[in-house]
Amino acid sequence: MLELTIDALASISTAIATIALVTLLYRTVKQFEATVEVNRVQTEFRFRPWIGHIGTIKKMENSITGNIQFEITIKNFGELPASNVTANFVLSKNMLQREELKSQKHNSFELGPMLPNMEKHYWFFIPQDVWKKGEEEKEKIFIGLLFNYPFSGKEMGYGIISEYNSSTHNFIHKDMWIDDSKL
């Protein structure tokens, strides 16, 4: 009878140890899944181009045309190059919406590739009569800038909608966003 009890205890101990081992293996597999997911997210969002502006929109003193010239500096904050950055500019008397800026490609200019940490300057122009009315506060001046670039077969982008404030002589950003289907 003692042998039967020892055999039963041994079987129960083996079963408990097996259950504990299976539980630990299950948790290990779940931990590996979480690690793989973190690495996937890091790869998708860290190792890619991130185009954005730095500084303010600056009025340039000497225009190369008869219009008023402005400059904005953009930078690739990402760890990978952007192969072909395109700048789109829209000028309006009314507040722009993101969808309008995306659909209107009135003034489009190819800036070319941007390496990581590279900066480029983009110029846009406002006609003198529109500028004069904005300075005199007869009309509002709204601008929209959208910088597009392809990555991984998708179109990425960074957009800004700004309004000119004649009292501060600066453009005030009303809306900024990143176009990325993953975000």
Which two tokens mark 112?
């070319």
Do residues 38 and 113 share a domain? no
The residue segments making up the domain with residue 115 are 51-179
**What average pLDDT score do residues 47-63 get?**
87
Q: What is the pLDDT of residues 13-54, one digit of tens each?
A: 898 999 999 999 999 999 989 988 888 877 766 778 889 999
What is the distance, to the nearest Å, from the Cα of residue 40 to the centroid of all Cα atoms in its chain? 18
Give yes or no: residues 6 and 77 share one domain.
no
pTM: 0.72
Q: Are residues 40 and 73 in the same domain?
A: no
Residues 116 and 150 in one domain: yes
CATH number for the domain harbouring residue 133: 2.60.40.10
In whole angstroms, what is the distance from residue 141 CA to residue 131 CA? Answer: 8
What residue type is assigned to position 118 of the chain?
Answer: M
Residue 31 CB coordination number (10 Å): 10
Q: Which residues contact 157 (CB under 8 A, 6 or more apart)?
A: 51, 146, 147, 148, 149, 178, 179, 180
Domain count, the chain: 2
Write out pLDDT tens, residues 133-164. 998 889 999 999 999 999 888 888 899 999 99
